[in-house]
């Protein structure tokens, strides 16, 4: 599109409006953009409305949703407007379920350089999260089929929905999803993260046991989820797994996950490895902590461990990974 194109001008104007307090004239302009014929303009306007949390535009968002849904294949290429509108309504806690139920069932196959692609996958995932925040009595049942949706973004949206607002039933469904598996590792990772955030005490043992799964993808997903959980009990599970693990590649993942916890006990454990373990293992622990080199406390703890060891090679590794000159 050229700069003289009306759609390009509208998009540029919306970019300007994002960075200023809306005047009455600006509000009228935003309202016109939400009724624009271009799906790209409506999508960007919906994003602006969500960022500014302007609930007075909800009627326009709802109206535009129905307008594009009347013929989405023709009116809303790449599902840009429907996805933007639904996400805006979700972020503004719009609680009427009808839109989300309609979007939850929407499939939009579009041509690509290869096989046709489903442009509505992300829309279904967002709708799942939004629906479970409403009081719709069959919300969990409506979201359930998305756990086996053929598109990963839809499955991930369903997992996040069940983790956040699915209650006990949602947690059990996430366990079942892990046990039945998924071709996309990110889906299993989201299940573990959701379990540890929504029901940490009840789920810790399940996630920790999954580190011993024969499927490497499931084992790795459990390790990373424990690291991201920031739970003190997760440190004990990661340390125990590290101590009974022989393979270096998995030991490295366990050290990285332990560093991700950023707990004092975890940092002390990693620094003790730097001080006392063989050079290879010590370097692996140092590299795991290097991700957080901007943290002054972690930097100083690692520097102290390296000085205590007095190993020239490790000192050079520290200088390289932490961006310091060797003294």
Helix ranges, 1-120 (H) = 6-17, 24-34, 39-51, 58-69, 72-75, 80-91, 97-104
Say yes or no to pLDDT of 94 above 60: yes
**Position of tokens 């690509």?**
112
Place 39 in a pLDDT band, splitting at 50, 70 and 90.
Answer: very high
**Dihedrals phi, psi of 135, to nearest 5 degrees:** -100, 20
Return the pLDDT at 3.
Answer: 54
pLDDT of residue 325: 45
Work out the mean pLDDT of the chain and round it to a whole number.
95
pLDDT at position 273: 97
Whether residue 152 contacts residue 132, with contact meaning beta carbons closer than 8 Å, is answered with no
For every residue of 48-59, DSSP letters joined together read: HHHHTT-GGGHH
- Which sequence spans correspond to the domains of the chain? 230-327
pLDDT tens for residues 201-226?
Answer: 999 999 999 999 999 999 999 999 99
Query: Is residue 313 scored above 80 in pLDDT?
Result: yes
Q: What does each C-alpha distance from 300 to 43, 112, 170, 231, 268 come to in angstroms?
A: 47, 52, 43, 23, 12
149, burial (CB in 10 Å: exposed 0-12, middle 13-18, buried 19+): buried
Q: Collapsing DSSP states into helix, strand and coil, what is residue 74?
A: helix
**pLDDT for position 326:** 43
pLDDT at 2 over 90: no
Could you read off the pLDDT of 241-252 as tens digits, one per residue? 999 999 999 999
Q: Is the pLDDT of residue 327 over 50?
A: no
Q: Which residues contact 276 (CB under 8 A, 6 or more apart)?
A: 282, 309
Q: Is residue 159 scored above 50 in pLDDT?
A: yes
- Tell whether the model's pLDDT for residue 160 goes beyond 50: yes
Residue of higher predicted confidence among 145 and 21: 145
**Cβ atoms within 10 A of the Cβ of 4, count?**
7
pLDDT reported for residue 270: 98
- The model's pTM: 0.91
* Predicted local distance difference test score (pLDDT) of residue 8: 95
| CA end-to-end span of the chain | 56
The answer to whether the CB of 43 falls within 8 A of the CB of 14 is no
Distance CA 91, CA 93 (A): 5
Cβ atoms of 34 and 42 within 8 Å: the answer is yes
Residue 74 has pLDDT above 60, yes or no: yes
Long-range Cβ contact pairs of 25-29 (< 8 A, separation 24 or more): 27/56
The 10s digit of each residue's pLDDT in 14-34 is 999 998 888 999 999 999 999
- Using pLDDT thresholds of 50, 70 and 90, give the confidence band for residue 324: low
- pLDDT band at residue 304, thresholds of 50, 70 and 90? very high
């Amino acid at each position: 599109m050229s700069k003289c194109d009306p759609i390009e001008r509208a998009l540029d104007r919306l970019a300007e409006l994002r960075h200023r307090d809306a005047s009455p004239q600006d509000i009228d302009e935003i309202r016109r953009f939400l009724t624009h014929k271009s799906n790209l303009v409506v999508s960007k306007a919906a994003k602006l409305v969500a960022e500014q949390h302007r609930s007075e535009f909800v009627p326009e968002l709802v109206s535009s949703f129905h307008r594009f849904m009347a013929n989405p294949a023709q009116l809303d290429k790449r599902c840009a407007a429907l996805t933007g509108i639904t996400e805006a309504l979700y972020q503004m806690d719009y609680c009427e379920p009808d839109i989300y139920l309609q979007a939850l069932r929407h499939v939009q196959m579009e041509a690509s350089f290869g096989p046709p692609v489903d442009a509505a996958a992300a829309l279904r995932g967002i709708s799942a999260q939004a629906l479970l925040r409403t009081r719709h009595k069959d919300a969990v049942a409506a979201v359930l089929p998305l756990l086996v949706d053929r598109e990963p973004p839809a499955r991930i949206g369903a997992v996040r929905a069940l983790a956040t607002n699915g209650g006990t039933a949602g947690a059990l469904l996430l366990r079942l999803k892990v046990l039945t598996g998924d071709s996309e590792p990110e889906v299993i990772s989201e299940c573990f993260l959701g379990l540890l955030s929504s029901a940490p005490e009840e789920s810790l043992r399940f996630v920790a046991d999954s580190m011993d799964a024969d499927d490497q993808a499931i084992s790795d997903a459990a390790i990373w989820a424990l690291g991201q959980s920031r739970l003190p009990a997760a440190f004990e599970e990661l340390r125990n797994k590290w101590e009974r693990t022989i393979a270096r590649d998995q030991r490295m993942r366990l050290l990285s996950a332990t560093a991700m916890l950023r707990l004092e006990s975890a940092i002390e454990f990693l620094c003790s490895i730097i001080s006392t373990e063989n050079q290879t293992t010590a370097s692996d622990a140092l590299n795991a902590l290097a991700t957080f080199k901007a943290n002054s406390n972690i930097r100083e703890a690692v520097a102290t461990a390296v000085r205590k060891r007095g190993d020239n090679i490790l000192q050079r590794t520290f200088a390289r990974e932490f961006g310091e000159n060797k003294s």
